[in-house]
Structure 1
Amino acid sequence: MYGETVKEMTSKFGKLEKFEGVNFRRWKQKMRFLLTTLKVVNVLPTPMPELPDDATVDQIRRGNKWDNDDFICRGHILNGMSDALFDVYQSVETAKELCDSLESKYMAEDSSSKKFLVSNFNYYKMVDLRHVMEQFHDILRILGQFTQHNLKMDESISVSSIIDKLPPSWQTFKHMLKHKKEELSLT
Protein backbone atom coordinates (compact mmCIF):
# COMPACT_ATOMS: atom_id res chain seq x y z
CA MET A 1 0.00 0.00 0.00
CA TYR A 2 2.84 2.41 0.85
CA GLY A 3 4.44 1.74 -2.55
CA GLU A 4 1.23 2.70 -4.31
CA THR A 5 0.94 5.91 -2.32
CA VAL A 6 4.47 6.97 -3.22
CA LYS A 7 3.91 5.97 -6.84
CA GLU A 8 0.70 8.02 -6.99
CA MET A 9 2.40 10.95 -5.27
CA THR A 10 5.32 11.03 -7.67
CA SER A 11 3.03 10.68 -10.69
CA LYS A 12 0.97 13.65 -9.49
CA PHE A 13 4.07 15.67 -8.66
CA GLY A 14 4.13 17.23 -12.12
CA LYS A 15 0.79 18.86 -11.30
CA LEU A 16 2.25 20.84 -8.39
CA GLU A 17 3.09 24.48 -9.05
CA LYS A 18 6.65 25.04 -10.21
CA PHE A 19 8.67 27.52 -8.18
CA GLU A 20 9.12 30.62 -10.34
CA GLY A 21 10.98 32.75 -7.80
CA VAL A 22 7.93 34.09 -5.92
CA ASN A 23 5.91 32.80 -2.97
CA PHE A 24 8.91 30.85 -1.69
CA ARG A 25 7.40 30.11 1.73
CA ARG A 26 4.32 28.48 0.21
CA TRP A 27 6.38 26.45 -2.26
CA LYS A 28 8.79 25.42 0.50
CA GLN A 29 5.94 24.10 2.65
CA LYS A 30 4.47 22.12 -0.24
CA MET A 31 7.90 20.73 -1.12
CA ARG A 32 8.59 19.77 2.49
CA PHE A 33 5.27 17.91 2.58
CA LEU A 34 6.17 16.03 -0.61
CA LEU A 35 9.66 15.14 0.66
CA THR A 36 8.21 13.98 3.98
CA THR A 37 5.67 11.81 2.15
CA LEU A 38 8.50 10.30 0.13
CA LYS A 39 10.47 9.75 3.36
CA VAL A 40 13.58 11.54 2.09
CA VAL A 41 13.32 14.81 4.03
CA ASN A 42 15.80 13.38 6.57
CA VAL A 43 18.76 14.36 4.35
CA LEU A 44 18.06 18.08 4.74
CA PRO A 45 19.18 18.43 8.39
CA THR A 46 21.56 15.45 8.33
CA PRO A 47 25.05 15.90 6.92
CA MET A 48 26.43 13.27 4.58
CA PRO A 49 27.90 10.48 6.70
CA GLU A 50 31.64 10.13 6.37
CA LEU A 51 32.81 6.57 5.92
CA PRO A 52 36.07 5.56 7.55
CA ASP A 53 38.48 3.35 5.63
CA ASP A 54 37.49 0.37 7.75
CA ALA A 55 33.72 0.99 7.47
CA THR A 56 31.37 -1.77 8.53
CA VAL A 57 28.67 -3.15 6.26
CA ASP A 58 26.09 -1.28 8.34
CA GLN A 59 27.94 2.04 7.91
CA ILE A 60 28.22 1.45 4.16
CA ARG A 61 24.47 0.70 3.96
CA ARG A 62 23.62 3.88 5.88
CA GLY A 63 25.92 5.86 3.59
CA ASN A 64 24.32 4.35 0.49
CA LYS A 65 20.82 5.02 1.85
CA TRP A 66 21.75 8.65 2.55
CA ASP A 67 23.18 8.99 -0.99
CA ASN A 68 20.01 7.53 -2.50
CA ASP A 69 17.70 9.69 -0.34
CA ASP A 70 19.75 12.79 -1.17
CA PHE A 71 19.56 12.00 -4.90
CA ILE A 72 15.76 11.62 -4.74
CA CYS A 73 15.34 14.68 -2.53
CA ARG A 74 17.56 16.90 -4.71
CA GLY A 75 15.84 15.63 -7.86
CA HIS A 76 12.37 16.43 -6.56
CA ILE A 77 13.42 19.90 -5.42
CA LEU A 78 14.95 20.62 -8.84
CA ASN A 79 11.89 19.15 -10.58
CA GLY A 80 9.73 21.53 -8.54
CA MET A 81 11.43 24.57 -10.08
CA SER A 82 10.81 26.44 -13.29
CA ASP A 83 13.22 25.61 -16.12
CA ALA A 84 15.09 28.89 -15.65
CA LEU A 85 15.71 28.20 -11.94
CA PHE A 86 16.52 24.55 -12.65
CA ASP A 87 19.32 25.71 -14.96
CA VAL A 88 20.71 27.97 -12.22
CA TYR A 89 20.64 25.39 -9.42
CA GLN A 90 21.25 22.05 -11.16
CA SER A 91 24.97 22.04 -10.35
CA VAL A 92 24.43 22.21 -6.57
CA GLU A 93 25.66 18.88 -5.25
CA THR A 94 23.41 18.01 -2.29
CA ALA A 95 19.80 18.61 -1.35
CA LYS A 96 20.89 20.44 1.82
CA GLU A 97 23.16 22.81 -0.14
CA LEU A 98 20.33 23.37 -2.61
CA CYS A 99 17.86 24.22 0.17
CA ASP A 100 20.39 26.47 1.89
CA SER A 101 21.02 28.36 -1.39
CA LEU A 102 17.30 28.82 -2.00
CA GLU A 103 16.71 29.90 1.60
CA SER A 104 19.48 32.51 1.55
CA LYS A 105 18.28 34.00 -1.73
CA TYR A 106 14.52 33.87 -1.42
CA MET A 107 14.11 34.43 2.31
CA ALA A 108 16.13 37.66 1.95
CA GLU A 109 13.76 38.68 -0.83
CA ASP A 110 10.89 37.72 1.47
CA SER A 111 11.94 40.33 4.02
CA SER A 112 11.67 43.06 1.38
CA SER A 113 8.34 41.62 0.27
CA LYS A 114 7.12 41.97 3.89
CA LYS A 115 7.70 45.71 3.63
CA PHE A 116 5.88 45.69 0.30
CA LEU A 117 2.93 43.81 1.86
CA VAL A 118 2.65 46.27 4.73
CA SER A 119 2.77 49.13 2.25
CA ASN A 120 0.10 47.46 0.10
CA PHE A 121 -2.17 47.15 3.12
CA ASN A 122 -1.51 50.65 4.46
CA TYR A 123 -2.10 52.42 1.18
CA TYR A 124 -5.00 50.32 -0.10
CA LYS A 125 -8.07 52.51 -0.62
CA MET A 126 -11.44 51.25 -1.73
CA VAL A 127 -13.08 53.05 -4.62
CA ASP A 128 -16.72 53.51 -5.57
CA LEU A 129 -16.21 52.07 -9.06
CA ARG A 130 -15.63 48.49 -7.85
CA HIS A 131 -17.87 46.25 -5.76
CA VAL A 132 -17.04 46.62 -2.06
CA MET A 133 -16.94 42.86 -1.39
CA GLU A 134 -14.48 42.36 -4.23
CA GLN A 135 -12.20 44.98 -2.68
CA PHE A 136 -12.72 43.49 0.79
CA HIS A 137 -11.51 40.14 -0.57
CA ASP A 138 -8.41 41.91 -1.95
CA ILE A 139 -7.68 43.18 1.56
CA LEU A 140 -8.28 39.74 3.08
CA ARG A 141 -5.84 38.27 0.55
CA ILE A 142 -3.20 40.78 1.67
CA LEU A 143 -3.90 39.93 5.33
CA GLY A 144 -3.61 36.23 4.44
CA GLN A 145 -0.16 36.94 3.05
CA PHE A 146 0.68 38.60 6.38
CA THR A 147 0.07 35.22 8.04
CA GLN A 148 2.21 33.48 5.43
CA HIS A 149 5.10 35.83 6.26
CA ASN A 150 4.57 35.52 10.03
CA LEU A 151 3.48 39.16 10.27
CA LYS A 152 1.00 39.63 13.08
CA MET A 153 -1.62 42.33 13.34
CA ASP A 154 -4.24 42.58 16.04
CA GLU A 155 -7.69 41.93 14.59
CA SER A 156 -9.17 45.11 16.06
CA ILE A 157 -6.47 47.14 14.26
CA SER A 158 -7.20 45.26 11.02
CA VAL A 159 -10.94 45.91 11.35
CA SER A 160 -10.43 49.59 12.13
CA SER A 161 -8.05 49.96 9.18
CA ILE A 162 -10.50 48.27 6.82
CA ILE A 163 -13.29 50.58 7.98
CA ASP A 164 -11.02 53.52 7.18
CA LYS A 165 -10.47 52.09 3.70
CA LEU A 166 -14.17 52.02 2.79
CA PRO A 167 -15.04 54.12 -0.28
CA PRO A 168 -16.12 57.76 0.08
CA SER A 169 -19.78 56.97 -0.62
CA TRP A 170 -19.83 54.80 2.52
CA GLN A 171 -19.00 57.74 4.84
CA THR A 172 -22.20 57.44 6.93
CA PHE A 173 -21.75 53.67 7.33
CA LYS A 174 -18.09 54.17 8.32
CA HIS A 175 -19.14 56.66 10.97
CA MET A 176 -21.76 54.27 12.34
CA LEU A 177 -19.27 51.35 12.51
CA LYS A 178 -16.66 53.42 14.30
CA HIS A 179 -19.12 54.43 16.99
CA LYS A 180 -20.39 50.93 17.76
CA LYS A 181 -19.78 49.85 21.34
CA GLU A 182 -19.10 46.16 20.68
CA GLU A 183 -15.91 44.79 19.15
CA LEU A 184 -16.05 44.00 15.45
CA SER A 185 -14.27 41.07 13.85
CA LEU A 186 -13.19 40.47 10.26
CA THR A 187 -16.09 38.07 9.79
Structure 2
Amino acid sequence: MAFVTLKDIGSDFHRLERFDGGDFVRWQKKMHFLLVTVKVYYVIVNPRPLKPGENEEKSVAKSRERLRWDQDDEICRGHILNGMSNTLFDAYHTVKTAKELWNQLERRYITEDATSKRFIVSKFFYYKMVDGRSVMEQFNEIKSILDRYSQHKLALDEFIVVTSIVDGRSPLSWKNFRNSLKHRKEDINLDELGTHLRIEVRKEENYKQKEAQSSIKCSLAI
Protein backbone atom coordinates (compact mmCIF):
# COMPACT_ATOMS: atom_id res chain seq x y z
CA MET A 1 0.00 0.00 0.00
CA ALA A 2 1.39 3.40 -0.96
CA PHE A 3 1.37 6.24 1.60
CA VAL A 4 1.44 9.93 0.72
CA THR A 5 4.00 11.78 2.83
CA LEU A 6 4.31 15.50 3.51
CA LYS A 7 7.50 15.41 1.45
CA ASP A 8 5.56 13.96 -1.51
CA ILE A 9 2.86 16.60 -1.16
CA GLY A 10 5.43 19.39 -0.98
CA SER A 11 7.12 18.00 -4.07
CA ASP A 12 3.77 17.98 -5.93
CA PHE A 13 3.17 21.63 -5.08
CA HIS A 14 6.70 22.49 -6.15
CA ARG A 15 6.14 20.80 -9.53
CA LEU A 16 2.81 22.53 -10.13
CA GLU A 17 3.17 25.00 -12.97
CA ARG A 18 2.55 28.51 -11.66
CA PHE A 19 -0.64 30.06 -12.95
CA ASP A 20 0.17 33.12 -15.09
CA GLY A 21 -3.28 33.81 -16.52
CA GLY A 22 -3.43 31.10 -19.20
CA ASP A 23 -5.02 27.62 -19.23
CA PHE A 24 -6.90 28.32 -16.01
CA VAL A 25 -9.12 25.21 -16.11
CA ARG A 26 -6.13 22.86 -16.29
CA TRP A 27 -4.31 24.69 -13.48
CA GLN A 28 -7.48 24.73 -11.34
CA LYS A 29 -7.92 20.94 -11.68
CA LYS A 30 -4.33 20.34 -10.58
CA MET A 31 -4.70 22.76 -7.67
CA HIS A 32 -8.00 21.12 -6.66
CA PHE A 33 -6.31 17.73 -6.52
CA LEU A 34 -3.47 19.03 -4.35
CA LEU A 35 -5.79 20.87 -1.96
CA VAL A 36 -7.87 17.71 -1.54
CA THR A 37 -4.66 15.75 -0.91
CA VAL A 38 -3.65 18.04 1.98
CA LYS A 39 -7.26 17.96 3.27
CA VAL A 40 -7.96 21.70 3.13
CA TYR A 41 -10.21 21.97 0.07
CA TYR A 42 -13.28 21.66 2.32
CA VAL A 43 -12.94 25.32 3.39
CA ILE A 44 -13.82 26.36 -0.16
CA VAL A 45 -17.09 24.40 -0.17
CA ASN A 46 -18.03 24.49 3.52
CA PRO A 47 -18.87 27.76 5.34
CA ARG A 48 -16.97 28.87 8.41
CA PRO A 49 -18.49 27.28 11.55
CA LEU A 50 -20.75 29.56 13.59
CA LYS A 51 -19.64 31.01 16.92
CA PRO A 52 -20.20 28.64 19.84
CA GLY A 53 -23.32 28.99 21.98
CA GLU A 54 -23.65 29.10 25.77
CA ASN A 55 -23.35 25.36 26.44
CA GLU A 56 -19.84 25.00 27.83
CA GLU A 57 -19.11 21.49 26.54
CA LYS A 58 -20.38 22.21 23.05
CA SER A 59 -18.76 25.62 23.15
CA VAL A 60 -15.26 24.14 23.51
CA ALA A 61 -15.82 21.71 20.61
CA LYS A 62 -17.25 24.46 18.41
CA SER A 63 -14.36 26.78 19.24
CA ARG A 64 -11.86 24.08 18.26
CA GLU A 65 -13.76 23.39 15.03
CA ARG A 66 -13.82 27.08 14.20
CA LEU A 67 -10.10 27.46 14.98
CA ARG A 68 -9.22 24.48 12.82
CA TRP A 69 -11.30 25.88 9.95
CA ASP A 70 -9.50 29.26 10.23
CA GLN A 71 -6.10 27.55 10.19
CA ASP A 72 -7.00 25.34 7.21
CA ASP A 73 -8.45 28.32 5.36
CA GLU A 74 -5.15 30.17 5.73
CA ILE A 75 -3.23 27.08 4.54
CA CYS A 76 -5.59 26.66 1.58
CA ARG A 77 -5.38 30.34 0.63
CA GLY A 78 -1.59 30.22 0.93
CA HIS A 79 -1.31 27.20 -1.37
CA ILE A 80 -3.48 28.85 -4.01
CA LEU A 81 -1.44 32.06 -3.86
CA ASN A 82 1.84 30.15 -3.96
CA GLY A 83 0.62 28.41 -7.11
CA MET A 84 0.36 31.75 -8.92
CA SER A 85 2.93 33.90 -10.70
CA ASN A 86 4.45 36.81 -8.78
CA THR A 87 2.33 39.30 -10.71
CA LEU A 88 -0.94 37.52 -9.89
CA PHE A 89 0.18 36.91 -6.30
CA ASP A 90 0.61 40.66 -5.86
CA ALA A 91 -2.83 41.24 -7.35
CA TYR A 92 -4.68 38.70 -5.17
CA HIS A 93 -2.77 38.34 -1.89
CA THR A 94 -5.12 40.72 -0.04
CA VAL A 95 -8.19 38.52 -0.67
CA LYS A 96 -9.19 37.35 2.80
CA THR A 97 -10.46 33.77 2.38
CA ALA A 98 -9.67 30.80 0.16
CA LYS A 99 -13.28 30.58 -1.05
CA GLU A 100 -13.36 34.25 -2.03
CA LEU A 101 -10.01 33.88 -3.82
CA TRP A 102 -11.16 30.72 -5.65
CA ASN A 103 -14.40 32.39 -6.75
CA GLN A 104 -12.67 35.54 -7.96
CA LEU A 105 -10.27 33.49 -10.10
CA GLU A 106 -13.16 31.48 -11.55
CA ARG A 107 -15.21 34.56 -12.39
CA ARG A 108 -12.34 36.18 -14.23
CA TYR A 109 -10.42 33.37 -15.90
CA ILE A 110 -13.16 30.93 -16.91
CA THR A 111 -14.58 33.81 -18.99
CA GLU A 112 -11.13 34.36 -20.48
CA ASP A 113 -10.82 30.64 -21.18
CA ALA A 114 -14.01 30.86 -23.26
CA THR A 115 -12.35 33.59 -25.33
CA SER A 116 -9.23 31.45 -25.47
CA LYS A 117 -11.28 28.58 -26.96
CA ARG A 118 -12.38 30.76 -29.86
CA PHE A 119 -8.76 31.80 -30.42
CA ILE A 120 -7.56 28.17 -30.46
CA VAL A 121 -10.28 27.12 -32.93
CA SER A 122 -9.32 29.97 -35.27
CA LYS A 123 -5.63 29.22 -34.85
CA PHE A 124 -6.05 25.66 -36.15
CA PHE A 125 -8.41 26.40 -39.02
CA TYR A 126 -6.25 29.26 -40.32
CA TYR A 127 -2.89 27.50 -39.81
CA LYS A 128 -0.99 27.04 -43.07
CA MET A 129 2.26 25.10 -43.45
CA VAL A 130 4.77 26.93 -45.61
CA ASP A 131 7.87 26.06 -47.60
CA GLY A 132 11.17 27.16 -46.12
CA ARG A 133 10.43 25.95 -42.59
CA SER A 134 10.89 22.52 -41.06
CA VAL A 135 7.81 20.46 -41.90
CA MET A 136 8.03 18.43 -38.67
CA GLU A 137 8.39 21.61 -36.64
CA GLN A 138 5.19 22.95 -38.21
CA PHE A 139 3.44 19.59 -37.76
CA ASN A 140 4.36 19.64 -34.06
CA GLU A 141 2.94 23.17 -33.79
CA ILE A 142 -0.36 21.86 -35.16
CA LYS A 143 -0.29 18.99 -32.64
CA SER A 144 0.36 21.49 -29.85
CA ILE A 145 -2.73 23.46 -30.90
CA LEU A 146 -4.77 20.23 -30.94
CA ASP A 147 -3.48 19.33 -27.45
CA ARG A 148 -5.03 22.58 -26.25
CA TYR A 149 -8.31 21.46 -27.83
CA SER A 150 -8.24 18.49 -25.43
CA GLN A 151 -7.44 20.73 -22.46
CA HIS A 152 -10.53 22.81 -23.24
CA LYS A 153 -12.64 19.69 -23.92
CA LEU A 154 -13.12 20.64 -27.57
CA ALA A 155 -13.87 17.65 -29.79
CA LEU A 156 -12.59 17.51 -33.34
CA ASP A 157 -12.87 14.36 -35.48
CA GLU A 158 -9.39 13.00 -36.21
CA PHE A 159 -10.28 12.13 -39.82
CA ILE A 160 -11.25 15.78 -40.41
CA VAL A 161 -8.01 16.94 -38.76
CA VAL A 162 -5.82 14.67 -40.92
CA THR A 163 -7.71 15.50 -44.12
CA SER A 164 -7.46 19.20 -43.33
CA ILE A 165 -3.68 18.99 -42.82
CA VAL A 166 -3.11 16.92 -45.98
CA ASP A 167 -5.40 19.00 -48.23
CA GLY A 168 -4.78 22.51 -47.07
CA ARG A 169 -1.81 22.70 -44.73
CA SER A 170 1.03 20.65 -46.22
CA PRO A 171 3.50 22.74 -48.29
CA LEU A 172 2.69 23.51 -51.91
CA SER A 173 5.87 21.74 -53.04
CA TRP A 174 4.50 18.47 -51.59
CA LYS A 175 1.80 18.02 -54.20
CA ASN A 176 2.79 14.41 -55.01
CA PHE A 177 2.84 13.54 -51.31
CA ARG A 178 -0.65 14.98 -50.83
CA ASN A 179 -2.00 13.07 -53.82
CA SER A 180 -0.52 9.77 -52.61
CA LEU A 181 -2.20 10.14 -49.20
CA LYS A 182 -5.52 11.28 -50.66
CA HIS A 183 -5.71 8.15 -52.83
CA ARG A 184 -5.05 5.70 -50.00
CA LYS A 185 -7.91 3.29 -49.37
CA GLU A 186 -7.41 3.24 -45.59
CA ASP A 187 -7.83 6.26 -43.35
CA ILE A 188 -4.82 7.26 -41.26
CA ASN A 189 -4.71 8.91 -37.85
CA LEU A 190 -2.60 11.86 -36.71
CA ASP A 191 0.30 9.73 -35.45
CA GLU A 192 0.42 7.79 -38.73
CA LEU A 193 0.43 11.06 -40.64
CA GLY A 194 3.42 12.13 -38.56
CA THR A 195 5.22 8.91 -39.54
CA HIS A 196 4.50 9.52 -43.25
CA LEU A 197 5.76 13.09 -42.92
CA ARG A 198 9.02 11.94 -41.31
CA ILE A 199 9.56 9.41 -44.13
CA GLU A 200 8.89 12.10 -46.74
CA VAL A 201 11.31 14.49 -44.99
CA ARG A 202 14.03 11.80 -45.04
CA LYS A 203 13.41 11.17 -48.75
CA GLU A 204 13.73 14.87 -49.47
CA GLU A 205 16.91 15.16 -47.40
CA ASN A 206 18.45 12.12 -49.12
CA TYR A 207 17.55 13.56 -52.53
CA LYS A 208 19.16 16.91 -51.67
CA GLN A 209 22.23 15.12 -50.33
CA LYS A 210 22.62 13.10 -53.56
CA GLU A 211 22.13 16.26 -55.62
CA ALA A 212 24.88 17.99 -53.63
CA GLN A 213 27.25 15.02 -54.04
CA SER A 214 26.52 14.88 -57.77
CA SER A 215 27.23 18.57 -58.06
CA ILE A 216 30.57 18.15 -56.25
CA LYS A 217 31.55 15.26 -58.55
CA CYS A 218 30.71 17.33 -61.62
CA SER A 219 32.79 20.25 -60.39
CA LEU A 220 35.75 17.96 -59.61
CA ALA A 221 35.50 16.35 -63.04
CA ILE A 222 35.77 19.75 -64.67
Same fold (TM over 0.5): yes
- Segment of structure 1 superposing worse, 4-13 or 150-159: 4-13
Once residues 65 and 137 of structure 1 are traced to their aligned partners in structure 2, the CA distance between those partners, rounded to angstroms, is: 49
* Residue number in structure 2 paired with 1:167: 171
Query: Deviation at 1:17?
Result: 2.6
The 5 Å alignment of 1:65-84 reads 65-84=68-87
Say whether 1:109 aligns with 2:130: no
Query: Deviation at 1:12?
Result: 6.3
- Aligned residue pair count: 186
Structure 2: runs of 5+ lacking an equivalent: 192-222
Query: Deviation at 1:8?
Result: 4.5
* Residue number in structure 1 paired with 2:63: 60
* Residue number in structure 2 paired with 1:99: 102
The 5 Å alignment of 1:7-86 reads 7-10=7-10, 13-54=13-54, 56=58, 57-86=60-89
Query: Deviation at 1:152?
Result: 0.8
Which structure has the higher relative contact order (CA within 8 Å, separation 6+)? Answer: 1
170, 174, 179: which is aligned to 2:183? 179
In our comparison, the structure showing a higher alpha carbon Rg is: 2
Query: Deviation at 1:168?
Result: 0.6
Query: Deviation at 1:62?
Result: 2.4
| RMSD value, Cα | 2.1
Give the residue type in structure 2 aligned to 1:180.
R
* TM-score computed with the length of structure 2 as normaliser: 0.76
Residue pair 2:52, 2:63 contacting (<8 A) in 1 also: no
Structure 1: runs of 5+ lacking an equivalent: none
Runs (4 or more) in structure 1 with deviation over 6 Å come to: none
